[in-house]
Amino acid sequence: MMRMLMVLLAACVSLGCAAQSRPVRVTYVLGGGNEQFVLPTRIGNKRIDLVRFYVSSVELMRGGKPVWKEPGSYHLVDFTDSGTLAYKMKTPEHIHFDRIRFHLGIDSATNVSGAMGGDLDPAKGMYWAWQSGYINFKIEGTSPDVPSAKHEFTFHLGGYAAPNATLQTVDIAVREGKDIVIGLDVATFLASIEMDKVYHIMSPCAEAVTLSAKAAKCFSAL
């Protein structure tokens, strides 16, 4: 029995399929530290129906330097699809890190490289049809402050080219040795928008850049 185990172990090592990684799990939750939400939900006088965004180029950092970069790093996080809210990263064993850094959105090179698969598939509802480009961040709902008939707000934030490039970098402190839980403080984000004036963004524009920067600031590790 012992011999068989040794053989199996040796075979695994030499074929390179040994468990070399101890995956770090990343989970996304909607809400800041105090309160978390499941969509559709109400926050104050607002109703939120949809929150969806891209996370890309994930890096784990230590002492301000990257210690691990996730290969092929593109994740669609969709709070209406629980299957997208947690995944394991293929991190190496004994990795030490104190921060996680990622892009909120899709880089410009990917935006001009044609059809992609997986989370980047244009059929995922995060690609503009009438003008090429990924939507980096989507949030939809209603607010009594919105002066339109149905009081709906629709923020589809994207745009990869200057001067309306919306890609943001998020860099947040995490606790080492624990799985990473990233919260999006959606209440703070929505409170930062004057909904009586801005409630409908569906193309690259200066306002989309401003809101993308605000959204990036609403992420934290819980």
* Contacts to other proteins from residues 119-138, by CB under 8 A: 120-125, 127, 129-133
- Identify the residue among 21, 80, 113, 148 touching other proteins (CB under 8 A): 113
Give the N- to C-terminal CA distance of the chain in Å, as an integer: 46
Question: How far, rounded to the nearest angstrom, does the alpha carbon of residue 96 sit from its chain's CA centroid?
Answer: 22
Q: Does position 205 bind other proteins by CB under 8 A?
A: yes
148 three-state secondary structure: coil
Q: Does position 11 bind other proteins by CB under 8 A?
A: yes
Query: Is the CB of 7 or the CB of 213 nearer to other proteins?
Result: 7
Whole-number Å distance between alpha carbons of 134 and 116: 11
Question: Could you tell me how many residues make up the chain?
Answer: 222
Residues 6+ apart with CB under 8 A from 25: 86, 87, 88, 89, 179, 180
Binding mask 137-166 for other proteins (x = CB under 8 A): ------------------------------
Query: Is the CB of 68 or the CB of 127 nearer to other proteins?
Result: 127
Q: Which residues would be at the binding site for other proteins (CB under 8 A)?
A: 3, 6-7, 10-11, 13-15, 111-117, 120-125, 127, 129-133, 205
